[in-house]
Structure 1
């Protein structure tokens, strides 16, 4: 059984419906691959769970207000990902979920005189390649800044400002959805980590809209990994330090750059069969049943430990989604 076939019922009571305040007021479930040990903590315990010389790899992508309503329609456009060709991958949404309609050549008017025109389907029933008319705005991010709102799903009933969807590391706007594993970090906690001897290094990956199904066709996302990040990781590993990625986006960026290009677009899919080369552990949120991200988690932690973590999270009442609790998978 592949990890993405890990199936379970996610009760609505375990969905996080609003951002926690303060943002580090979440729980942390730890799992150790070598021993299978499970631990229950607060996120503020993180410095004690790491060792001097460990490296945390953080994503510096900031979240765009990537949802724009279609004028005169119940539909909303979710701007997912810029492509190398200058088009965008977009998702058309109804209030109940992805919109199954649409056809090549259809034009959808947006606020402020903007519009999207569908070129071709990218993934069946969900993503489209589209041309974007930004009207008077100089770029799509500028247009979204003027007319967009954060992408919000049904389990978050209240509207929250864009600041609720940003991490302390997000200094380069470009993600359709927040790289949410980094959300619980505060400036104070970062200070505690640094003074404890934990290194923090940046990567960049602009993440697109989340996939609602396992094994959907991957799409390229823009990434960049500084040479200094790779050198710091190599030195830390030589000295016995562990490399812990903060979020699946950081894993994809770092694994792409480890023996490949340091910037560009990546559609890398990490599976247990492929394995990981640059990452020893992962700090991540809890993923939905059958989500393809679970394959990456199994590549890092092993499927038996992953199953134990999710059983413990369900039994312990941990919370899911971008405002929820986190899972620390250690070697």
Structure 2
């Protein structure tokens, strides 16, 4: 592995289906733990998590529900990402157009402003203008979220070989507020009610944030666009309480890191906050709040690896990913997990 952002991922290490379809429970996936203080990398099952954390540690979890955000037409698919930032029209969203290629899809470069696309159920999608090279601002002729709940399916990329119901993409922490994210906050998927009970019984604290994810960019590896988030007042207070007493703040997923670090001032004090975040975490800027991250295994050159380097350091991340490759861990949202701890 020449660089932490560039390595070769063998196709056989891609998780093609949920662990339940492989004869495992949700919490039966594997867990690779890296500790920055010692440089140690160790192998576990995810259900071992309560024994790997200390009483007084705080897990910050994302409560975003996953929307069935893909609508398939004959030749293209429309992936609904987020409402247009700071807009007040629930029909105006950022979307990605993808060309269907059998069971998968690839980015579709076509389209022009003013073009309208007939959608299932008699709806119409009008392309308003380019938001970026990949995303369009587009207006649906009806409210987007109720429409997706009727006509949408979960976003699926080529490494997942068949459709799975929306329930397969919800975490135990998902709370439906009438909206949601385009893709699953997958680091929380292995949690079960029984595992949460064991964590709480062992003195581990949990606190919610919400960050609704936009569509991923598996081909381009772009940084995330602006996303909606909320850090509640109670969570901000609990983060401060834990940090003041020497406990660790461990984010469950990169989405939780992004929300917390957006809400933190330069000294690391977290305040209640909500809105849109464009914060991108890099090794140069580092992190101010988070002492650990529970996350999936990310693709080569993914922008998420910059965040992981900021938390774990270059050396530990390289060792961890080498161990994951050598140990044949599984990648992507239905794969195995990685816990990175600064101490």
Q: TM-score range by the shorter chain?
A: over 0.9
Mapped to 2, the partners of 1:283 and 1:49 lie a distance apart of: 12
- Check the 8 A contact 2:221/2:301 in 1, yes or no: no
Q: How does 1:154-165 map to 2 (within 5 A)?
A: 154-165=158-169
1:230 is aligned to 236
Unaligned runs of 5+ in 1: none
Q: Note the C-alpha offset of 1:322.
A: 0.4
Deviation, structure 1 residue 52: 0.2
Q: Deviations over 1:7-36 (max 9, x none)?
A: 111111100011112111100000001111
Measured against aligned partners, the alpha-carbon deviations of 1:126-156 in whole angstroms (never above 9, x if no partner) come to: 211111212xxxx311110011111111111
Does the aligned pair in 2 maintain the 1:55–1:233 contact within 8 Å? yes
TM-score (normalizing by structure 2): 0.91
Q: Tell me what 1:185 maps to.
A: 191
Q: Deviations over 1:88-109 (max 9, x none)?
A: 1101111241111111111111
Give the whole-Å Cα distance in 2 for the aligned partners of 1:2 and 1:250: 29
Between the aligned partners of 1:308 and 1:162, the Cα distance in structure 2 is 35
**1:2 shift after superposition:** 11
Please tell me whether the aligned partners of residues 214 and 224 of structure 2 are also in contact (alpha carbons under 8 angstroms): no
SS of equivalent residue, structure 1 residue 63: coil
Partner in structure 2 of residue 330 of structure 1: 341
Indicate how the Cα distance of structure 1 residues 32 and 217 shifts in structure 2: closer, same or farther if over 3 A, else same.
closer
Residue aligned with 1:174, SS: coil
Structure 2 SS opposite 1:319: coil
- CA distance in 1: counterparts of 2:318 and 2:114, whole angstroms: 45
Give the match's secondary structure for 2:234.
helix
Whether the 8 Å contact between 1:2 and 1:295 is mirrored in structure 2 is no
Decide which of 262, 268, 274 is 2:279's aligned counterpart: 268
Shift of 1:213: 5.1
Q: Are residues 316 and 297 of structure 1, via their aligned partners in 2, closer, same or farther at CA, if it must alter by over 3 Å?
A: same
Compute the displacement of 1:115 (Å). Answer: 2.1
1:191-249 Cα shifts (integer Å, max 9, x gaps): 00000000000000000111225663642111111011011111111111000000000
User: 1:155 aligns to what SS in structure 2?
Assistant: coil
CA distance in 1, matches of 2:212, 2:202: 30
Q: How does 1:39-78 map to 2 (within 5 A)?
A: 39-70=42-73, 73-78=74-79
CA RMSD in angstroms comes to 1.6
Task: State the distance in 2 between where 1:58 and 1:330 align.
Answer: 16
Instruction: Tell me how far 1:314 sits from its aligned partner.
Output: 0.5
* Contact 2:5/2:306, CA 8 A, preserved across alignment: no
Question: How do residues 1-331 of structure 1 correspond to structure 2 at under 5 angstroms?
Answer: 6-21=5-20, 22-70=25-73, 73-83=74-84, 84-85=86-87, 86=89, 87-95=92-100, 96-124=105-133, 126-134=134-142, 139-172=143-176, 173-212=179-218, 216=222, 218-259=224-265, 262-331=273-342
Structure 2 CA distance for aligned equivalents of residues 113 and 2 of structure 1: 51
Structure 2: stretches of 5+ with no match in the other structure: 266-270
Q: Matched residue of 2:180: which SS?
A: strand
Distance 1:48 1:20, change over 3 A: same
Matches of 1:236 and 1:230, distance apart in 2: 10
Moved >3 Å (runs of 4+): none
Aligned pair count reads 323
SS of structure 1 residue aligned to 2:243: helix
